Structure 1
Amino acid sequence: MFQLKHKQFIPTDIDTCWKFFSSPANLKKITPDYMGFDVKNEIPLEMYEGLMIEYTVKPLLNIPMNWITEITHVKHQSYFVDEQRKGPYKIWHHEHHFKVVNGGVEMEDVLTYVLPLGFIGKIAHALLVKSKVQEIFNYRNKKVKEIFN
């Protein structure tokens, strides 16, 4: 099992921050273009527990992949969790936490994931997946700075 933690300060109020991040429509805005992120189903303006989001992504070699995540937990303006139901990972559990701090909001991500294929998955993680996941978070960090600064 692998885990990535990431914190980012966002210079805005909790209402604005929550409204942006709890809207599935904004996922594409903070995902690298090369990922080919495309939501396939109707989505509401704000997420809720039990929401299923179906999309395609092209994480490697521009090969489209279907992915379905479920929003499993939501505490308004505090946190939400998305978990993969269908996709490339054996386990994908992504927690998004929001905390009001002096001058803005601290957003913390805790991503826990397991790749399929046992030992081969561990090699793939070391050679490619770990850096790709970090690259996606670095991109998101940059885009969030652009949007909120």
Structure 2
Amino acid sequence: MKLYRLHKKQKLPISVDMAWEFLSNPNNLSLITPDNLGFNILSGAEKPMFAGQIIQYHISPLWGIKTTWVTEITHMTNKLYFVDEQRFGPYALWHHKHFIHDIDGGIEMEDIIDYKLPFGIIGQLMHIILVKSKLEDIFQYRSKKLETLFGTYNKETN
């Protein structure tokens, strides 16, 4: 079994309250997801985030093939962190921790994703060939989109 980890940090010139308000609204996920993934929430985003929340959506991660992804918000501490875990979807395991840290002049968002691909050695090859770079691209898009929405963190001016 091969388990992978993606670890990203981003600083933004906003308050913890503003960051939490944005991140705790599941509907905002579509704003920071690349259009070419065909992301569409089907159910579960009617309320602000809470532990036990199930969110179902369609996504087309590869070659336009639509798949249903179901995640559960398994842990949450208001304005500090939340965890989403895939219940059904394209990964054999998806465990995504989101942290918000208060820093001088803004916040630092930290994402730690532990994931496993299905199909054994074929999944490992797909990780090398395609999946790793695709995830990097998604998080790079997200980073740029968040800067467009909230501004660029610059400690010297904040």
1:63-142 matched pairs, under 5 angstroms? 63-142=65-144
Larger radius of gyration: 2
8 Å Cα contact 2:57-2:69 kept in structure 1: yes
1:8 aligns with 10
TM-score (norm 2): 0.93
Query: What is the match of residue 52 of structure 1?
Result: 54
Distance in structure 2 (CA, Å) of the matches to 1:112 and 1:43: 23
Aligned to 2:154: none
Residue 39 of structure 1: aligned partner: 41
Unaligned runs of 5+ in 1: none
User: Identity of aligned pairs, percent?
Assistant: 46
What SS class does the counterpart of residue 146 from structure 1 fall into? helix
TM value normalised by structure 1: 0.98
Partner of 1:67, secondary structure, is strand
**CA distance in structure 1 between the partners assigned to 2:113 and 2:45 by the alignment:** 23
Aligned-residue offset at 1:10: 1.0
Q: Return the alpha-carbon distance in structure 1 between the equivalents of residues 93 and 140 of structure 2.
A: 22
Q: Which residue of 2 aligns with 1:21?
A: 23
**Matched pairs, number:** 149
8 A Cα contact 1:90 1:115, kept in partner: yes
Cα RMSD of the aligned pairs, angstroms, is 0.7
| Secondary structure of 1:99 counterpart | strand
**Which SS does the other structure have where 2:146 is aligned?**
helix
